[in-house]
Chains A and B, each alone.
Chain A
Amino acid sequence: MLPLVYLAIVVVGEPSDARDAVWSREALELMLRSVGLAAAVTETAVAVAVAIAWLTVRTDLRGRRTWAVLCALPLVIPSYIGAYLMVSALGPSGLVQDALGVGSLPSIYGFAGAWLVLSAFTFPYVLLPVQSVLRGLDPQLEDAARGLGRSPRQVFVSVVLPQLVPAIAAGALLVALYVLSDFGAVSILQFDSFTRVIYTTYRSSFEREGAAALACLLVAVTLLVLWLEGRTRRRTRAYHRIAPGAQRRPAVVPLGRWRLPALALVGGVVLLALVLPVGVLGYWATKSVAADIDWGLVASAAGGSLLAAALAAAVAAAAALPVALLAARHPSRASTVLERFSFAGHALPGIVVALALVFLGTRAWPALYQTLAMLVLAYVVLFLPQAIGSIRASLLQIDPHVEEAARSLGRSPLAVLRTITAPLARSGVLAGAALVFLTAVKELPATLLLAPIGFETLATEIWRLTSASFFERGAVPSLVLLAVSAVPLALLTFRAHFDQ
């Protein structure tokens, strides 16, 4: 929260330039462009995700469980890697063009490309919650509506869809925030959204105040999105399962002559969002391994990524424990406010936090500027909420009576924390740390702005190579990055199975 306040102070402190930047015609266009992209991507993601969710949960689509898993996988591909692969495949003199032997394809750059890439890699954010709600819906409600004389289509619109709205809204919020804060994809696809312009303003000139002003504007847009989502949530909160009794499995809808179109839709999405990027990556990787490649550089970048992400994971977990403890055990107004504040980081685009820390570093804490500590701090500010959420969930599963029992057996509160609470919350703490690690490893804009000179990570390395169109050389670091993030991901999935 502190960085944000500081950013606002910078903007207010530099009246003329900064205000000009905010109230200019360019700024207005910029805002429209960013919001337009976010809206378009969100709509596409919702439409695709709801369709796929229904197909994979409720119909006799062949291999629907496999499709469900495949459709969730694009989540692990960072948007900048996705964008780089798309460009190298579909761009001018890209792989597809070469393979087809056609003169030119529609341009991948700009709005269309950004929309395509971001939609392809964000729709799982909607798919996963909608799928899980769809699985839990009470089929008797639908039977009742059918019994009251409604057609299957009417039932879907009047009974099923309203119950999906909260899940759709939650997923759509994630997508919208993702698009607004995404930096990698829009930059590679040369679409001038907020994050890209903030970055170029910051890099190309010394008028950092202009970048700060734009960052503030971006935060305002983000807050607006959050506010809108909060309003819809308030209106649609009251859907709970009210039917008692054991749950019956819903009937499977036979697709009939729609089987092929359905298969084509799901297959097409998987092809675009998963098969194509992974295939292209593999292709580049085999080519680049054959060519000479600077393994030392890859190794040092991987080392940098691991170090920074591991530090961030450890610090975030340590910082999250007391906050989560306070929020879970002593719910009061103060603890709620504290928790909300730490969640602000969740909605803040990485570039904004990074920029704020640059200002703090150059003006207030020069000792920290250009150090690894500053980068870790940025990661912690950005990803603390993930750690808090995970730890809080595991704390809420601990029966408070267990802690009270320990107290009445003669142990002080601190001893209870050490011998009872911490061991029981361990899996939650580990999961929180793994999540932070996963996201920190992939983080790009804050890393670009805050990494000390000479400190390379996989993300900055991929960025450097691909923005210079060295597509071949970017492949190996990308593969390493995916491999590195697969470890905590596997840990998390494994744990979810173990807990069940």
Chain B
Amino acid sequence: MSAIRSIAVHKHFGGCRAVDGVTLDVEEGEVCALLGPSGCGKTTMLRLLAGFERPDSGCLMVGGEIVAGGKTFVSPERRRIGMVFQDYALFPHMTVEANVAYALGRRAEGAAARVREVLELVGLGDLGSRQPHELSGGQQQRVALARALAGTPKVVLLDEPFSGLDAALRARVRQEVRAILLAAGVTALFVTHDQEEALSLADRVAVMRDGRVEQVGTPEEVYGRPASRWVAEFLGEADVLPGTVDDGWVDCELARVRAEGVGSGDAEVLVRPESVSLSLGPAAGGRTQVEGVVVEREFFGHDQLVHVELPSGRRLRSRSLSHPVWHPGDRVRVQLDGPVSVYAAASPA
């Protein structure tokens, strides 16, 4: 059964269609990312699910019950959805314990025990009596998470959960949060504009653009087999080579590769930098190879991005470990060394 199900949901603000027919299923116990550039409607989608906005049309279900659709509208406090806000939204006038206990209501049995339990879960067992402003950003975020989990919600929604943290902290907190969500066994849907965050944290990724879902799949699927050129370029670096499809194969400047499901005619071949390898000597295995000239090199420490100009004048990027060191002007052999994606040429950018 789907923990979250959205069927053809629309929501507009004035003339702007923030959510334009989103259909999406999130399975129980899954961590799902809603990934898209800013303004694509992903936060509106989250607010619709939480009940802070009313959809214009379509149907939203949480845990198998309709929460919005037709004449039904369940108010936020009855949805049993935990929400973690971008700015955490901790109650500034309450201690950490009181923040978490707020989720349990005044008369709840064993409230104190539950508060302790969730604070232990997020690793803040000894900070219960602190005020929110006495905590670091990462700790505040875990309190927000604990508060959202305390009432054993059906679903937890997280709005840009890591954007308030600095880069060094982000990678660590990300894995901690994933571990907490898995330990709690809760279904989670989180919104982000950071592709690395979505790919590393989610079981499945839904890519949104202009209020629509462009593609849903595992991180490997959306990265390795993007449904459109736009998705490919949004999810990571990619260069485009023109090619011609004939009978299931495409010819481009670098190689002849399989092109399944693309009709004959002009095509675009999307090449990720890590699929391009450079070498000095003759290539092994007699694969097709092309000679190019290094024009630029960006060094990142553990790896490097080398820009090469092909005989046609097109530029291609190649990502490799930091050795060997290439210099502008070096003549290198360029070869394809990994999967590529092929789209019919009319594919919109």
Contact = CB atoms under 8 A, between A and B. Distances in A.
A401 interface: yes
A405 B83 contact: yes
Contact of B103 (A399, A410, A419, A423): A410
B87 interface: yes
B232 to A, nearest CB: 34
B102 A404 contact: no
Query: Interface on chain B toward A: helix, strand, loop, or mixed SS?
Result: loop
Contacts of A405: 83, 85, 89, 91, 144, 147
A409 interface: yes
B77 A407 contact: yes
Contacts of A423: 93
Interface string B72-98: 000111111111011101111100000
Given A401-B85, A404-B85, A410 B151 contact: yes
Interface residues of A, number: 16
Contact of A402 (B50, B75, B86, B89): B89
A404 B147 contact: no
A408 interface: yes
Nearest to A405: B89
Given A399-B87, A401-B85, A424-B93, A406 B102 contact: yes
Sort chain B's interface into a size bin. Answer: 20 to 34
B93 to A, nearest CB: 5
Nearest to B92: A424
A423 B91 CA distance: 10
Interface in A368-412: 399, 401-402, 404-412
Contacts of B103: 409-410
A414 to B, nearest CB: 11
B77 A411 contact: yes
Query: Interface on chain A toward B: helix, strand, loop, or mixed SS?
Result: helix
A264 interface: no
Residue from A405, A406, A408, A410 having most chain B Cβ neighbours under 10 A: A408
Contact of B50 (A408, A411, A420, A424): A408
Contact of A409 (B52, B87, B92, B102): B102
A327 to B, nearest CB: 20
Contacts of B147: 405, 409
Nearest to A420: B91
Given A404-B50, A404-B76, A410 B89 contact: no
A424 B148 CA distance: 21
B41 interface: no
Contacts of B93: 423-424
A97 B305 CA distance: 91
A402 B94 CA distance: 12
Interface string A411-451: 11000000110011000000000000000000000000000
A417 B76 CA distance: 15
B105 interface: yes
Contacts of B92: 402, 424
Given A401-B85, A419-B102, A407 B76 contact: yes
A401 B87 contact: yes
Contacts of B51: 407-408
A408 B154 CA distance: 12
Interface string A210-231: 0000000000000000000000
Contacts of A420: 91
A419 B103 CA distance: 12
Nearest to A419: B102
Contacts of B83: 404-405, 408
Contacts of B151: 409-410
Contacts of B52: 404, 407-408
A402 B79 contact: no
A221 B78 CA distance: 54
Residue from A402, A410, A419, A424 having most chain B Cβ neighbours under 10 A: A410
Contacts of A412: 75, 77
A407 B89 CA distance: 12
Given A420-B91, A424-B93, A410 B85 contact: no
Contact of A410 (B50, B77, B90, B91): B77
Interface string B213-237: 0000000000000000000000000
A423 B102 CA distance: 14
Contacts of B77: 407-412
Contacts of A424: 91-93
A409 B90 CA distance: 12
A23 to B, nearest CB: 50
B171 to A, nearest CB: 25
A288 to B, nearest CB: 48
Contacts of A406: 91, 102
Contacts of B89: 399, 401-402, 404-405
A152 to B, nearest CB: 44
A99 B80 CA distance: 81
A406 B99 CA distance: 10
A399 B93 CA distance: 13
B13 to A, nearest CB: 14
Contacts of B80: 410
Nearest to A403: B89
Contacts of B144: 405
8 nearest A-B pairs in the assembled complex, by CB-CB distance: A401-B89, A407-B76, A405-B89, A409-B103, A401-B85, A408-B83, A402-B89, A410-B77
Given A404-B50, A410-B77, A412-B75, 4 more contacts: A401-B89, A405-B91, A408-B77, A420-B91
